[in-house]
Amino acid sequence: MQCFFVFYSAGLALGTPSLLYAFIMIASGNVMMALTHYATGTAPVIFGTGYVSLKKWWSVGFVISVIDITVMILVGLVWWKFLGFY
């Protein structure tokens, strides 16, 4: 989250629509916990229980990330266009 304002400012300087870019930046945070076992504060606690192997975490995380990004592109952008965000 610390880099949010840096990347958000850079995106605005490049001329991206401010509200749409903010939503894209926020939505991309959904991928973080699923992708790696150390990306968020709760992920190490869940991983530390030992129920899931590292290989399984990364492989399932990759699949979930691909699904999440696909849904955000196919459904999210259409919905945001309908709402008038860009």
Neighbours of 67 (CB within 10 A): 12
For 42-60, the three-class secondary structure string (H helix, E strand, C coil) is CHHHHHHCCCCCHHHHHHH
Q: Which two tokens stand for residue 34?
A: 């699923």
Q: Which two tokens stand for residue 65?
A: 């990330």
pLDDT exceeds 90 at position 14: yes
Question: What is the predicted pLDDT for the residue at 63?
Answer: 92
- Give the range of the structural domain holding residue 40, as residue numbers without chain letter: 4-83
Neighbours of 74 (CB within 10 A): 10
Per-residue pLDDT tens digits for 42-76 = 788 888 999 889 999 899 889 988 998 898 889 98
Question: What is the predicted pLDDT for the residue at 1?
Answer: 58
Among 21, 16, 43, residue whose Cα is nearest residue 32? 43
Q: Which two tokens stand for residue 43?
A: 């992920």
Residue % of the chain over a pLDDT of 70: 97
Number of folded domains in the chain?
A: 1
